[in-house]
Structure formats: structure tokens, C-alpha cells
Structure 1
Amino acid sequence: MRKQIVCINWGTKYGAPYINRLYRMVCANTTPPFRFVAFTDTREGVDPGVECFDLPEMPGFMPERTIGQWPKSRLWAAELGDLKGAFLFVDLDVAITGSLDPFFEFGDENDVVLARNIAKPLHKLGQTSIYRMPVGALAPLQDMFAADPQGVADKYRFEQHFVTKNAPNGVKFWPGGWVRHFRIECIPTFPLNYFVEPRLPKGTRVVIFAGSLNPPDAILGQYNKANPHLPPWQHIKRAVKSPKKIKSLRQFMWPATWVRTIWEKAEQDQASSPKPS
């Protein structure tokens, strides 16, 4: 199976710095030859090793009243740039901590393979921060979505739930332990989070940052910018004043040193790993 890694960028939240950082993490963790492709609305400042294509057309319209990442539906098209066959999609805000090669060796190249949604383990839902599929495998879903974007979004909320439930030939999941959810699987449970720094579980290949907690927040030791990191007792004093005291008390973590190491190395690298081809 040819190694094709794809990312998507729209708007101003991420841009070239995130594309370049992901590219450098891929270079450091993938055996050549491979392609790294970005579907993006900006090419300014993007590393020349990245193959850039314009964003595919949005099917239908952008739904409102939903927090799902529905612009990802652009990648469900029957044709996608000049890509052929299977590709591995990776979100821009992940931390790659191990080899990506096994993601191209697992299962059949015609499979749609998702990460497990660990937030709802009993629901057997997928998570699309890192998934693999053949080009066009979800084209029927794009047609379904385009016919009623708001209705689909209201019913499923998240595009990954829609994919899990409606993929034409079903979905498979990556082996356990390959993909970890930072907030759920890396931060020690309360009250250990006040004493132990976030950990990287053994065997992890990719750490995803679903929700509002992203790698820059993990590096600073905060759940979001609205609640910056404070020493433990100051955090507790702030939490008891919050309307959601218990939740706020649980939302403490120390800065994640290993995330800083991976993130900053990717920023500093000049993609010195072998170039894709």
C-alpha cells in the first residue's frame, strides 16, 4: 500500500505553522517513500515538501448549531486532487509519538479504519483525528450530507458519528493502544493529576487532542486559555468559586513535558528526514 498522508486546513485557527509541524512529525516517523498532501485555503509559508491542493468544494452548506468538524466532509468526494487508492488522514493538532508505518499495513487497503472514540466506549463510535480510507469510499455519505446538511448535523452532531454509522461497508478500528486521547488517557485521574505529570502510555503512536484542550494548552498545563495554569492551591481556590466546582477541581494538570519536547522539536526541524516521493 502506497503511503499517502493527508491533512486539511481551513480558516485562520491553524495555517502553515500547523501544516509544517505535522509534516515534520510525519517525516520523523514514516519510512520513505511517502506523500504528504495538504488540502488548504492558504499556501503561504507552507514547507515546499508539502504538496498543496485547493480545498475541495464544501458539499451543500455549512450547518449551524453543531460542534462537529463538518468541513472534513470535503474529503469524502469521489475524486480528491490526484490521489488514488488509500490515504491516511491526520488532524493538524496531534502529537506523533511513534512510527506511522503500521497504519498502512493494518487490514485491507479498501477498509475504512478509524480510531476508537474512547469518550463513549460502549457506543462503538469512531474518531476521525486519524483514519484511513480509499479515495471515494465515503462519496455516498457526501451525497447524503449535501442533501440535508443541517438535518444530518442535528441528528449526528459530529461528522465522525455520521461516518461510523453510515460508511457503506462499515468501519474497522485501529488496534488498541496505537491512538490515545490526551485528556482521557494521558492526564492522571483525580486526585493524582495534582501530583503526577501527564504521561505517554507505552506503545502509543499518535496522541489526539479532541475538544478544546490542544497541544499548546497541554504544554502550558491548562484545559483552555480561559483558565490558565495555576499552582495547585491557587487552582483549587479558583475552582471552588466556579459554578461547576467538581468539574473545575478535576481540570488540573501539570505542564506536559513530553508534548513540549515533540511539539518544539517539530517546530525547529527543517524536515531533515528523507524527503517523500
Structure 2
Amino acid sequence: MTQTVICMKWGPRYGADFANRLWGMIRRNTTRDTRLICFTDNAEGVHPDIECRPIPHVNLPESHRMKPWRKIALWNRDLGLEGDILFMDLDLVITGTIDGFFDHAPEETFCVIRNWTQPDKRIGNTSVYRFRVGAHHDVYQRLMDDPEGVTGAHPNSQTYISRTISSMAFWPVEWCVSFKHSLMPRWPLNFIKDVPLPETARVVAFTGKPDPDDAVVGKWPAKGHKKLYKYVRPTPWIAEHWRE
């Protein structure tokens, strides 16, 4: 049976090269027949082995159209897919096998990363999650019915998802790490110590800044006084994994 991974790409920030790198990392880190489907508004330059589909319609206030709230479109039961599928953000680095993401807690219809910044709360980080198509259509429908109310009541889409779904499982904590929250040495050690890569990590997520293309060369986009402490040393292991 083919494993299905999906991603989303919209707007100018993440080009086709991000989708192509994701596909390369997936191919190198699975022993099973696996496909990647990219829901996108621009398929130009995307590797021909990646199946591109239009982004499903989702009702959002204008202020939220370019934000991660657009990922709620994937909770539509009319996605054209079935069964359990794995979502992965474009701005992550796969460093180990992904097959376990399809095997973990098979009875659950939603598996997600435990949020690194709220470990004591039932909030998932949706950089990597598995869900059963159609099992939680209400996540999509509630937003469609009341976009202003839903977005106004929740600080972000992943909090909304976590509050709406009654049952979820978290990935083993060692599988998914945050570049910024799990691995970065604390200030001022970030100026003199390299960012390590744990052997047990399977996915490194880049929440906020820096992105992989920044961190690999030692760049942290920051403004004003934040430049005094927002610093990362060049991180060569990113280039080893983050490639087509």
C-alpha cells in the first residue's frame, strides 16, 4: 500500500525548490512506496514526480489568507484522498526514517507533535501530523461557517485544531525537534557553539525564524535590537539532509 505525504505551497516565500527538497528527503528516508502530493497555487518548477493539486477552497478573513490558517483547507472531507495521510511543512528537515509516522498509534485519527513551547498543554504543533481524511471534517466546516469568529477566538490554526479535536496522539518526543526551541544553544552560547543534531531526531522543524536556507549559512533575519542576540552559527548538517 502506498504511503501518502502531502504539503502546501502558496505565495512567494517558499519556492518550488522547497517542495523538491522535501521530496528528496522523503525518498531517502522511507523503505516503502511513498508519494508526495503538493497542494499549491503555483506548480511551476515542481519536480515531475510530485503530484500537484489546487489548494481546496477555505473561507478566511483577508487578514488571514496568507497565514498557516490556509492549511485548514486540508481537513475538507472532499480532499480527493482517503485513509491516513501525513502532512509535512515545507520548512523542515527530515533526518531519519518517516515510516514510523504511518505506524504510530494506528487507532488514532490525529497524531501530531507536542508543542515545544506549551509542553504541559494539549496543543499540537502541526509541522508534522497524520490525520484520517474525513474523520474531522468539522475542523474545516466550523471555519467555513464562521471565519471571523473562529480566527478571532484562537491565536493560531494549530491551537484551533487541538481544541476542536477531542482525541489525539503525540509523536515520541525524540522524533520531532525544533531547531530554535530544542537545539539552539542558549544566549550567549549560540555565538560560540554549533547547533547539534540528535541521532534520534527524524524531523527538525523550523518554526518562525530562521528557516533552513538561513540557518545553513549562519543567517538569522532579525530587526533592531534583536540582532544583538538572534544569531546562529553556520549549520552544515542542514545541507547534508536538506537537498533534492
2-side partners of 1:256 and 1:61: how far apart?
Answer: 37
Q: CA deviation at 1:68?
A: 5.0
2-side partners of 1:194 and 1:112: how far apart?
Answer: 39
Could you tell me which of 189, 193, 196 is aligned with 2:193? 196
- Return the index of the structure with the highest Cα Rg: 1
Contact 1:127-1:160 at 8 Å conserved across structures: yes
Contact 1:68-1:153 at 8 Å conserved across structures: no
Q: Which runs of 5+ in 2 are unaligned?
A: none
Provide, for residues 38-66 of structure 1, a one-character-per-residue CA deviation record: whole Å limited to 9, x for no partner. 111122221111112111112x2245279
Corresponding residue number in structure 1 for 2:72: 73
Could you tell me which of 168, 171, 180 is aligned with 2:168? 171
Corresponding residue number in structure 2 for 1:9: 9
Q: Which runs of 5+ in 1 are unaligned?
A: 228-241, 268-277
1-side partners of 2:156 and 2:137: how far apart?
Answer: 17
2-side partners of 1:114 and 1:68: how far apart?
Answer: 19
Task: Give the superposed CA RMSD.
Answer: 2.0
> Runs (4+) of structure 1 moved beyond 6 Å?
none
2-side partners of 1:67 and 1:165: how far apart?
Answer: 22
Aligned residues: 244
Provide, for residues 169-192 of structure 1, a one-character-per-residue CA deviation record: whole Å limited to 9, x for no partner. 421110111000101111111222
Could you tell me which of 154, 157, 169 is aligned with 1:156? 154
2:234 equivalent to 1:255: yes
2-side partners of 1:223 and 1:123: how far apart?
Answer: 29
Contact 1:68-1:157 at 8 Å conserved across structures: no
2:104 equivalent to 1:106: yes
2-side partners of 1:152 and 1:63: how far apart?
Answer: 14
Aligned-partner residue type, residue 23 of structure 1 = W
2-side partners of 1:86 and 1:66: how far apart?
Answer: 26
2-side partners of 1:134 and 1:102: how far apart?
Answer: 16
TM (norm. structure 2) is 0.93
Q: CA deviation at 1:137?
A: 2.2
SS in 2 for 1:184: helix
Corresponding residue number in structure 1 for 2:53: 53
1-side partners of 2:15 and 2:229: how far apart?
Answer: 32
Q: CA deviation at 1:146?
A: 1.3
